[in-house]
Amino acid sequence: MQGRINIPVASLYIADAALTNDESTWTSPVAATQADQDFLTDYYVPKLCNAYVYEKEGGQTQVSLYAGGHGFFADNVTPDERLVENKASGRVNAADLPQLSRYLQYLDENGGSLDYNFFRSPVSGMGGPDPHFASTLADAATKYDIGIHVFDYDWWDELQ
């Protein structure tokens, strides 16, 4: 019986007495697990940032680029071909420098411009680069057309 779900009639009576998902969420809140927070931080929030930029600027999301024989993804490319990298965590640090290097190599080979958006995370409430990353990005901005933007407010509310 492909595409069908059979529920015994006796189960329906039990379901009537149970709380609905909405009721149970509000009457018995449960703290998010670390796995839940990791999923939100690593998967959902980046997509939300990309959607925010897409709604504001248009263009494309998750665009494949190549520089120096290496492939990588730009979070957004605006209609005027500006590259956009979005970060939403308090963990933007030296681990993110290789990605910045790929962007700079791409700009060397192809020209263009880049925006770095630092969003406050709805999960941690933090956002922005650490001092080392910020210094490296500021140095790069003296040579390349790089915009640096900090969204230190509940930007995700604008998507609703």
Question: Which domains are present in the chain?
Answer: 32-159 (3.40.1350.10)
19/102: higher pLDDT = 102
pLDDT at 13 over 60: no
Specify the pLDDT at position 53: 92
Q: What is the mean pLDDT of the chain?
A: 82
Specify the pLDDT at position 43: 81
| CA distances in angstroms from 81 to 52, 63, 104, 107, 119, listed in the order given | 17, 11, 15, 12, 21
- Overall average pLDDT of the 5-24 stretch: 48
Per DSSP, the residues of 11-79 read HHHHHHHSPPHHHHHHHS--PPPHHHHHHIIIIIHHHHHHHHHHHHH-SEEEEEEEETTEEEEEEEE-T
> Which residue is listed with tokens 């700079």?
104
Specify the pLDDT at position 122: 81
pLDDT band at residue 115 under the 50/70/90 scheme: very high
Specify the pLDDT at position 92: 81
Of the ranges 10-24, 34-48, 83-97, 141-155, which one carries the lowest mean pLDDT score? 10-24
